[in-house]
Structures are given as structure tokens and as C-alpha cells.
Homo-oligomer: A and B are copies of this chain.
Amino acid sequence: MSTFGSHFRVTTYGESHCLSVGCIVDGCPPGMALTEDDIQPQMTRRRPGQSAITTPRDEKDRVEIQSGTEFGITLGTPIGLKVMNENQRKQDYGNKTMDLYPRPSHADWTYLEKYGVKASSGGGRSSARETIGRVAAGAIAEKYLREAYGVEIVAFTASIGNEYLFPPSREHPTSATNPEFLQLVNAIDRKTVDSFLPVRCPHGETSKRMEQLVADFRDKHDSIGGTVTCVIRNAPSGLGEPCFDKLEATLAHAMLSIPATKGFEIGSGFGGCQVPGSIHNDAFIKATPVEAGVNGLHSKVRRPKLTTKTNNSGGVQGGISNGAPIYFTVAFKPPATIGQAQQTATYEEQDGTLEAKGRHDPCVVPRAVPIVEAMAALVIMDAVLAQHARTAARSLLPPLKGVVPVHQQ
């Protein structure tokens, strides 16, 4: 279904060519300051038309809060969010060729197999416009996490094609073991990321090479994929539910639900399979106490007393966050819409040539950055509320009398 989350629940609607797209956010804590201004910045970061290497489709994507706030304060009731579809250009997708051919590696064919109805836009809900609701909802989650815990969520481009920010090497089959990577992950912020527009890879030289690579693919009427790495700092420990809803499982679910994704890895990920356990294990050390109030951290928030020397786990052990930075990487395939003719078959099983004309990005990775951040925020927010329910319940129980080893919270 079009719903994400159990406690902070987001339900989206909207195709490429309908009246509006939007969502309902249910479960937002009451009493939080919230206006459109809290949401719009991420909407704008996601917006097409930001540079020469993204799609020229120009839309304002202004979000409008329908309900759930009054005088700029959340009521705790569902927040309706709406963005008009202003620039629809139905003709591009509704042309005769499009009607004959399912576009290769698009959702036209599978939507038809699923629903038995052919939308004018092909696989309507698989459109990138569907992600608008996610980004809007994510911005609300993020605001709460920042105000309550000082949570920071920052994503950036880690690779495009074979250009990597941290190329895998014999020494570091995974960047998790690379101190430079860990340093970046501990410090990077959005402002820095956006200073490397259009590609959003926070390293000058690499960024230039990536930009050139994308331009080359654009000029060849071709497309290319890449990866986005995201870090979540200051998330509380104890997030994630054994067994099926481990934090990495819900993060993977969230990330693979973004259009065009093909992979997810957390911590040491795929490369970590090559690292011996004796090196891979994250030994514990005493954590440096964080003063309440620093980084907006609320005084009621308890931080764990231990942390880990290394962070191959990516902040999650046994499916539960340990308080260290949570980081993961998402793979995006090359966009299916290309400017070249393609040999393929019609809906009526006839061989033929499809020549695409729609607008498109040669590489979705830079625009995916705020979408990855939004989905990360939704996952963490949901896990935080779940854990709140547990610790609040526990806090009302009489203390246990020493018969079992118990850690007092």
C-alpha cells in the first residue's frame, strides 16, 4: 500500500499527470512549531531544473499545509500536504509511439500487468513526482528529530559510474575501515554538500570528474547510475525492533522503495564480507559524555555510556542502534529514459524501434540526495516513537530488586 511507518505514518497519493500530489502525515507529535517554511527547503533541493545536467522540467513545487496545524503549531492530528501538478505536458508521454511500446526498464509494462489499466503516463506512480510527498513528510520528521535529539541527517553522492569518492581498494575493500571516510561521515553537513552542486559529491576534484562524466552521458543521449551515502548522527541508542524490523531492515525497505534503486548496504556492507571478524568487530570504549543542550540535545535525552572504537557496524548491532553514527549507501541504476532509439517489442508483441522524446535526467543521483535523507528521517522517526512507547512504559514499573542483572535507565 502507499503507506510508510507504524507510529509516524505517511500515506501518499498522486501520479505524474493528475491534479496534485501529496500526503497525509499521521502521528506527528503535538506542540511542535511547523509551517511550510520548514518543509520547502528540502522540496526545493529535490526540485528538477537545478542545473544543466538535470531535467529541464520547471515546477514550483510549493507545498501547502491543509490541516493538522494552527497558528504554526502542530495539533497532533493528521497533517495534510499538497503540491499542485502545474507543468504536466501530457503530450510528451501520450504520443503515439508511447501508446504502442512499453518503455524498456520503465514500469509501463509491469503496471499494465499489475492493474490491467494503461495510464497515460505509463507507470504513473513510479514517477519521480511520487517522491514529493516523501520529501515533505521527511522534512517534518527531521524537524522533530533535530529539535528533540539534535539528529543530523546528511546524504551525498558517493559515486557516479566508475568515479568514486572512496574507490574500493585492497587495503579498504569497504570504506568503513578507511579513517578518511569515517572523518567525513562524522563531519559532513548539507551546506557543504550543496556547495558541490550540481553533483553533490563533497570533494572538489572528484566532483569535477563526476560532472564531466554525467555531461558526457548526456551528450551521448545515454544515462549513468551511481551511489548515495547517507549518515544519521545523534540518533538515540535502542532504535530498531527485533527480529523482522531491525533498523537496517526498515532502512533497506525505505531506500529500496525509492524509484531506480538497486542496492543498499549498511556499515561495512558488501566490502565488509572480505574483512576478518577480528578486524571487523567494533570494540567498546567509554563514551565522551555529551552535555545536555549541546547541539540542541534535550536535557531528558540519555546518551549511552559506551561507544565503539571502530564503526564497521554502521551504528547498528543486532538490528538496534548503538548511538554511533548510522551510515549506509544506496545504489541508483542508470535512468531508463534515454535519448537513443531502442530495439524492443510493442504491447502487441511486434518487434520495432522506440524513439523516446520525454524530458529526463542523465543521472538521478544528485537529485536523489534529499529523497534519501527524507526516507532516513521517516525510518528514524518511526523507530524513535516505537522506542518512546517502550521506555515510557518501563519507567512506570516498580524497580526490580537485584535478583537479575538490570541496567537502570
Contact = CB atoms under 8 A, between A and B. Distances in A.
A71 B79 CA distance: 29
Contact of A130 (B24, B148, B243): B243
Interface string A364-398: 00000000000000000000111111111111111
B105 A317 contact: yes
A48 interface: no
A195 interface: no
A408 to B, nearest CB: 7
A355 interface: no
Nearest to A65: B19
Contacts of A351: 285-286
Nearest to A7: B389
A113 B284 CA distance: 14
A64 B20 CA distance: 11
Interface string A324-351: 0000000111111010101111010101
A403 interface: yes
Q: How many copies does the complex hold?
A: 4
Given A76-B115, A106-B318, A161-B273, A252 B256 contact: yes
Nearest to A305: B349
A406 B106 contact: no
A290 interface: no
B390 A391 contact: no
A384 B319 CA distance: 26
Contacts of A65: 19
Contacts of A120: 70
Nearest to A110: B320
Contacts of A220: 276, 278
A109 B322 contact: yes
Contacts of A272: 225, 262, 331, 333-334
A160 to B, nearest CB: 8
A189 interface: no
B225 A275 contact: yes
A223 B388 CA distance: 36
A161 B274 CA distance: 4
A2 B243 contact: yes
A47 interface: no
Nearest to A340: B278
A113 B1 contact: no
Residue among A2, A19, A82, A259 facing the most chain B CB atoms (10 A cut-off): A2
A300 interface: yes
A3 B22 contact: no
A349 B281 CA distance: 18
Interface in A262-309: 262-270, 272-278, 280-286, 298, 300-301, 304-306, 308
A243 B33 contact: no
A197 interface: no
Contacts of A403: 71-73
A304 B76 contact: no
Contacts of A406: 31, 73, 116-118
A215 interface: no
Given A1-B27, A386-B389, A336 B400 contact: no
Residue among A227, A386, A395, A403 facing the most chain B CB atoms (10 A cut-off): A395
19 contacts: A12-B244, A22-B66, A27-B390, A29-B397, A30-B394, A32-B397, A76-B115, A77-B242, A109-B317, A110-B320, A116-B409, A126-B242, A160-B273, A223-B276, A245-B257, A252-B264, A262-B269, A283-B345, A388-B392
Given A32-B397, A70-B120, A102-B306, 19 more contacts: A18-B80, A19-B65, A20-B80, A31-B116, A31-B117, A70-B117, A73-B400, A75-B119, A104-B283, A104-B284, A107-B320, A109-B317, A244-B253, A249-B253, A252-B264, A259-B319, A262-B266, A270-B331, A391-B392
